[in-house]
Structure 1
Amino acid sequence: MTIAVMPPGPIAINSATFVGIRVAGPRGAVVATPGCVLPSCIIVMAFAHVCYHFKGLSAIQGILSGLRSGAGAMIAAAGLGLLFLTLYGSRELPIDFSALNVVSSGILTVVFSFFASGVSTLSGS
Protein backbone atom coordinates (compact mmCIF):
# COMPACT_ATOMS: atom_id res chain seq x y z
CA MET A 1 0.00 0.00 0.00
CA THR A 2 2.75 2.42 0.89
CA ILE A 3 4.62 1.74 -2.31
CA ALA A 4 1.45 2.01 -4.40
CA VAL A 5 1.15 5.76 -3.82
CA MET A 6 4.73 6.58 -4.84
CA PRO A 7 4.40 6.77 -8.65
CA PRO A 8 3.07 10.06 -10.01
CA GLY A 9 -0.59 10.19 -10.90
CA PRO A 10 -2.21 11.15 -14.18
CA ILE A 11 -2.35 14.83 -13.28
CA ALA A 12 1.41 14.99 -12.64
CA ILE A 13 2.18 13.14 -15.86
CA ASN A 14 -0.17 15.31 -17.91
CA SER A 15 1.27 18.45 -16.30
CA ALA A 16 4.82 17.36 -17.09
CA THR A 17 3.85 16.66 -20.68
CA PHE A 18 2.07 20.02 -21.00
CA VAL A 19 4.99 21.97 -19.50
CA GLY A 20 7.43 20.06 -21.71
CA ILE A 21 5.44 20.99 -24.82
CA ARG A 22 5.19 24.63 -23.75
CA VAL A 23 8.88 24.97 -22.93
CA ALA A 24 10.55 22.93 -25.68
CA GLY A 25 7.88 21.59 -28.01
CA PRO A 26 7.34 17.88 -28.67
CA ARG A 27 10.92 17.04 -27.70
CA GLY A 28 10.33 18.70 -24.34
CA ALA A 29 7.27 16.50 -23.81
CA VAL A 30 9.29 13.40 -24.70
CA VAL A 31 11.90 14.35 -22.10
CA ALA A 32 9.60 15.73 -19.39
CA THR A 33 7.19 12.80 -19.21
CA PRO A 34 9.79 10.10 -18.47
CA GLY A 35 11.56 12.62 -16.24
CA CYS A 36 8.43 12.74 -14.13
CA VAL A 37 7.96 8.95 -13.97
CA LEU A 38 11.50 7.54 -13.82
CA PRO A 39 12.63 8.85 -10.40
CA SER A 40 9.76 7.19 -8.54
CA CYS A 41 10.17 3.99 -10.56
CA ILE A 42 13.87 3.86 -9.72
CA ILE A 43 13.13 4.44 -6.02
CA VAL A 44 10.47 1.69 -5.97
CA MET A 45 12.78 -0.77 -7.76
CA ALA A 46 15.65 0.03 -5.38
CA PHE A 47 13.35 -0.41 -2.38
CA ALA A 48 12.05 -3.73 -3.76
CA HIS A 49 15.62 -4.94 -4.31
CA VAL A 50 16.65 -4.02 -0.76
CA CYS A 51 13.53 -5.65 0.71
CA TYR A 52 14.07 -8.82 -1.31
CA HIS A 53 17.75 -8.99 -0.44
CA PHE A 54 17.24 -8.41 3.30
CA LYS A 55 13.78 -9.98 3.74
CA GLY A 56 15.06 -12.46 6.32
CA LEU A 57 16.22 -9.81 8.80
CA SER A 58 13.90 -9.21 11.72
CA ALA A 59 14.52 -5.45 11.54
CA ILE A 60 13.21 -5.34 7.96
CA GLN A 61 10.20 -7.44 8.99
CA GLY A 62 9.50 -4.97 11.81
CA ILE A 63 9.78 -1.98 9.48
CA LEU A 64 7.41 -3.54 6.94
CA SER A 65 4.98 -4.48 9.71
CA GLY A 66 5.03 -0.87 10.93
CA LEU A 67 4.41 0.39 7.40
CA ARG A 68 1.45 -1.96 7.03
CA SER A 69 -0.06 -0.89 10.34
CA GLY A 70 0.52 2.79 9.60
CA ALA A 71 -1.14 2.46 6.19
CA GLY A 72 -4.12 0.73 7.80
CA ALA A 73 -4.42 3.46 10.42
CA MET A 74 -4.32 6.17 7.74
CA ILE A 75 -7.03 4.42 5.73
CA ALA A 76 -9.17 4.13 8.88
CA ALA A 77 -8.60 7.82 9.67
CA ALA A 78 -9.65 8.79 6.14
CA GLY A 79 -12.76 6.63 6.47
CA LEU A 80 -13.64 8.24 9.80
CA GLY A 81 -13.12 11.68 8.25
CA LEU A 82 -15.56 10.81 5.47
CA LEU A 83 -18.01 9.42 8.01
CA PHE A 84 -17.88 12.65 10.03
CA LEU A 85 -18.26 14.67 6.83
CA THR A 86 -21.34 12.66 5.90
CA LEU A 87 -22.95 12.75 9.35
CA TYR A 88 -22.00 16.22 10.57
CA GLY A 89 -21.24 18.20 7.40
CA SER A 90 -17.65 18.68 8.56
CA ARG A 91 -14.61 16.45 8.86
CA GLU A 92 -14.36 17.41 12.51
CA LEU A 93 -16.82 17.04 15.34
CA PRO A 94 -18.00 20.24 17.01
CA ILE A 95 -16.16 19.17 20.19
CA ASP A 96 -12.35 19.25 20.42
CA PHE A 97 -11.06 15.70 20.61
CA SER A 98 -7.34 16.38 20.19
CA ALA A 99 -6.27 14.10 23.03
CA LEU A 100 -8.69 11.43 21.85
CA ASN A 101 -7.20 11.60 18.35
CA VAL A 102 -3.72 10.89 19.72
CA VAL A 103 -4.96 7.99 21.84
CA SER A 104 -7.10 6.51 19.06
CA SER A 105 -4.19 6.76 16.59
CA GLY A 106 -2.01 4.81 19.01
CA ILE A 107 -4.71 2.20 19.56
CA LEU A 108 -5.32 1.84 15.81
CA THR A 109 -1.60 1.43 15.19
CA VAL A 110 -1.35 -1.32 17.81
CA VAL A 111 -4.49 -3.06 16.51
CA PHE A 112 -3.37 -2.92 12.87
CA SER A 113 0.15 -4.08 13.74
CA PHE A 114 -1.39 -7.02 15.62
CA PHE A 115 -3.56 -7.95 12.64
CA ALA A 116 -0.69 -7.39 10.19
CA SER A 117 1.59 -9.71 12.18
CA GLY A 118 -1.26 -12.23 12.57
CA VAL A 119 -2.02 -12.23 8.86
CA SER A 120 1.63 -12.69 7.90
CA THR A 121 1.96 -15.47 10.49
CA LEU A 122 -1.16 -17.24 9.23
CA SER A 123 -0.08 -16.97 5.60
CA GLY A 124 3.25 -18.58 6.44
CA SER A 125 5.49 -15.67 5.42
Structure 2
Amino acid sequence: MQLFWTFLKIGLFSVGGGYAIIPLIQEQVVNQQGWLTDKVFTDIITISQMTPGPIAVNTSTFVGMQINGIVGAIVATVGCILGGCVISIGLYSFFQKHQESFYVSEVLKSLKASSIGLIMSAGFTILLLTFFGSSELSSILNAHIDWLAVILFSVFLFILRKFKLNPILLMCLAGVAGFFLY
Protein backbone atom coordinates (compact mmCIF):
# COMPACT_ATOMS: atom_id res chain seq x y z
CA MET A 1 0.00 0.00 0.00
CA GLN A 2 2.87 2.37 0.81
CA LEU A 3 4.41 1.64 -2.61
CA PHE A 4 1.10 2.44 -4.34
CA TRP A 5 0.61 5.63 -2.31
CA THR A 6 4.18 6.81 -3.01
CA PHE A 7 3.82 6.37 -6.77
CA LEU A 8 0.32 7.81 -6.78
CA LYS A 9 1.78 10.99 -5.21
CA ILE A 10 4.60 10.96 -7.77
CA GLY A 11 2.11 10.62 -10.61
CA LEU A 12 -0.15 13.33 -9.22
CA PHE A 13 2.49 15.92 -8.43
CA SER A 14 4.89 15.55 -11.32
CA VAL A 15 4.67 18.26 -13.93
CA GLY A 16 6.41 17.71 -17.23
CA GLY A 17 6.62 13.93 -17.11
CA GLY A 18 9.56 12.08 -18.57
CA TYR A 19 12.89 13.32 -17.31
CA ALA A 20 11.22 15.91 -15.11
CA ILE A 21 9.83 13.14 -12.89
CA ILE A 22 13.24 11.56 -12.14
CA PRO A 23 14.20 13.93 -9.28
CA LEU A 24 10.79 13.40 -7.66
CA ILE A 25 11.09 9.61 -7.85
CA GLN A 26 14.64 9.78 -6.51
CA GLU A 27 13.56 11.97 -3.60
CA GLN A 28 10.79 9.54 -2.67
CA VAL A 29 12.41 6.12 -3.14
CA VAL A 30 16.05 6.92 -2.29
CA ASN A 31 16.05 9.85 0.13
CA GLN A 32 12.70 9.58 1.96
CA GLN A 33 11.78 5.88 1.89
CA GLY A 34 15.33 4.51 1.64
CA TRP A 35 14.13 1.65 -0.56
CA LEU A 36 17.03 1.99 -3.02
CA THR A 37 20.59 3.28 -3.06
CA ASP A 38 21.73 6.02 -5.45
CA LYS A 39 23.64 3.39 -7.45
CA VAL A 40 20.65 1.07 -7.88
CA PHE A 41 18.43 4.04 -8.75
CA THR A 42 20.91 5.20 -11.41
CA ASP A 43 20.96 1.70 -12.88
CA ILE A 44 17.16 1.69 -12.98
CA ILE A 45 17.13 5.07 -14.77
CA THR A 46 19.63 3.77 -17.31
CA ILE A 47 17.56 0.66 -18.01
CA SER A 48 14.37 2.76 -18.15
CA GLN A 49 15.89 4.96 -20.84
CA MET A 50 16.86 2.00 -22.98
CA THR A 51 13.54 0.16 -22.85
CA PRO A 52 10.57 1.18 -25.00
CA GLY A 53 7.88 3.25 -23.37
CA PRO A 54 7.61 6.37 -21.23
CA ILE A 55 10.52 6.77 -18.82
CA ALA A 56 8.26 7.54 -15.85
CA VAL A 57 6.28 4.33 -16.34
CA ASN A 58 9.42 2.27 -16.96
CA THR A 59 11.12 3.71 -13.88
CA SER A 60 8.05 3.06 -11.73
CA THR A 61 7.86 -0.51 -12.98
CA PHE A 62 11.55 -1.22 -12.36
CA VAL A 63 11.51 0.40 -8.91
CA GLY A 64 8.41 -1.61 -7.96
CA MET A 65 10.05 -4.79 -9.26
CA GLN A 66 13.18 -4.09 -7.21
CA ILE A 67 11.16 -3.46 -4.05
CA ASN A 68 8.44 -6.14 -4.21
CA GLY A 69 8.76 -8.27 -7.36
CA ILE A 70 5.96 -8.54 -9.93
CA VAL A 71 3.29 -7.33 -7.51
CA GLY A 72 5.43 -4.28 -6.68
CA ALA A 73 5.94 -3.56 -10.38
CA ILE A 74 2.19 -3.63 -11.04
CA VAL A 75 1.32 -1.59 -7.95
CA ALA A 76 3.96 1.09 -8.65
CA THR A 77 3.03 1.36 -12.33
CA VAL A 78 -0.71 1.65 -11.66
CA GLY A 79 -0.03 4.20 -8.91
CA CYS A 80 2.14 6.28 -11.23
CA ILE A 81 -0.29 6.39 -14.16
CA LEU A 82 -3.61 6.51 -12.31
CA GLY A 83 -3.26 10.12 -11.18
CA GLY A 84 -2.19 11.27 -14.63
CA CYS A 85 -5.14 9.58 -16.28
CA VAL A 86 -7.65 11.15 -13.90
CA ILE A 87 -6.01 14.58 -14.19
CA SER A 88 -5.87 14.32 -18.01
CA ILE A 89 -9.57 13.63 -18.25
CA GLY A 90 -10.33 16.53 -15.92
CA LEU A 91 -8.00 18.89 -17.79
CA TYR A 92 -9.51 17.95 -21.12
CA SER A 93 -12.92 19.01 -19.87
CA PHE A 94 -11.50 22.21 -18.37
CA PHE A 95 -9.63 23.22 -21.54
CA GLN A 96 -12.66 22.55 -23.69
CA LYS A 97 -14.54 25.13 -21.63
CA HIS A 98 -11.69 27.68 -21.33
CA GLN A 99 -9.68 27.25 -24.52
CA GLU A 100 -9.72 30.98 -25.35
CA SER A 101 -8.70 32.24 -21.88
CA PHE A 102 -5.58 34.44 -21.64
CA TYR A 103 -4.92 33.34 -18.05
CA VAL A 104 -5.00 29.65 -18.88
CA SER A 105 -2.52 30.28 -21.69
CA GLU A 106 -0.14 32.10 -19.29
CA VAL A 107 -0.32 29.30 -16.72
CA LEU A 108 0.63 26.77 -19.42
CA LYS A 109 3.63 28.90 -20.42
CA SER A 110 4.88 28.94 -16.82
CA LEU A 111 4.50 25.16 -16.56
CA LYS A 112 6.66 24.74 -19.67
CA ALA A 113 9.42 26.79 -18.02
CA SER A 114 9.31 24.75 -14.82
CA SER A 115 9.44 21.51 -16.82
CA ILE A 116 12.65 22.63 -18.49
CA GLY A 117 14.19 23.29 -15.09
CA LEU A 118 13.19 19.85 -13.83
CA ILE A 119 14.63 18.15 -16.92
CA MET A 120 17.91 20.03 -16.44
CA SER A 121 17.95 18.95 -12.80
CA ALA A 122 17.50 15.30 -13.80
CA GLY A 123 20.32 15.53 -16.34
CA PHE A 124 22.59 17.20 -13.79
CA THR A 125 21.79 14.50 -11.21
CA ILE A 126 22.64 11.73 -13.67
CA LEU A 127 25.93 13.43 -14.57
CA LEU A 128 26.86 13.84 -10.90
CA LEU A 129 26.09 10.20 -10.17
CA THR A 130 28.08 9.08 -13.20
CA PHE A 131 31.13 11.27 -12.65
CA PHE A 132 31.27 11.35 -8.83
CA GLY A 133 29.16 8.40 -7.64
CA SER A 134 26.84 10.71 -5.67
CA SER A 135 24.14 13.23 -6.43
CA GLU A 136 24.78 15.29 -3.29
CA LEU A 137 26.73 18.46 -4.03
CA SER A 138 28.28 18.47 -0.54
CA SER A 139 29.78 14.99 -0.99
CA ILE A 140 31.25 15.82 -4.41
CA LEU A 141 33.98 17.93 -2.82
CA ASN A 142 35.35 14.83 -1.11
CA ALA A 143 34.59 12.34 -3.90
CA HIS A 144 36.96 11.20 -6.57
CA ILE A 145 36.18 11.88 -10.20
CA ASP A 146 35.63 8.86 -12.43
CA TRP A 147 37.86 10.12 -15.22
CA LEU A 148 37.06 7.15 -17.43
CA ALA A 149 33.34 8.08 -17.31
CA VAL A 150 34.19 11.72 -18.08
CA ILE A 151 36.32 10.67 -21.06
CA LEU A 152 33.69 8.25 -22.39
CA PHE A 153 30.97 10.88 -22.03
CA SER A 154 33.10 13.51 -23.78
CA VAL A 155 34.09 11.20 -26.65
CA PHE A 156 30.55 10.03 -27.33
CA LEU A 157 29.13 13.54 -26.99
CA PHE A 158 31.73 14.77 -29.50
CA ILE A 159 30.87 11.92 -31.89
CA LEU A 160 27.17 12.67 -31.56
CA ARG A 161 27.58 16.39 -32.22
CA LYS A 162 30.27 16.14 -34.92
CA PHE A 163 29.05 13.19 -36.98
CA LYS A 164 25.31 13.25 -36.18
CA LEU A 165 25.20 9.48 -35.67
CA ASN A 166 22.08 7.74 -34.44
CA PRO A 167 21.86 8.20 -30.63
CA ILE A 168 20.65 4.62 -30.16
CA LEU A 169 23.72 3.30 -31.97
CA LEU A 170 25.93 5.51 -29.81
CA MET A 171 24.23 4.28 -26.62
CA CYS A 172 24.88 0.70 -27.68
CA LEU A 173 28.53 1.48 -28.50
CA ALA A 174 28.96 3.31 -25.19
CA GLY A 175 27.42 0.36 -23.37
CA VAL A 176 29.84 -2.05 -25.06
CA ALA A 177 32.78 0.25 -24.28
CA GLY A 178 31.64 0.57 -20.67
CA PHE A 179 31.26 -3.20 -20.39
CA PHE A 180 34.84 -3.80 -21.46
CA LEU A 181 36.37 -0.83 -19.62
CA TYR A 182 34.60 -1.37 -16.32
What's the TM-score, normalizing by structure 1? Answer: 0.45
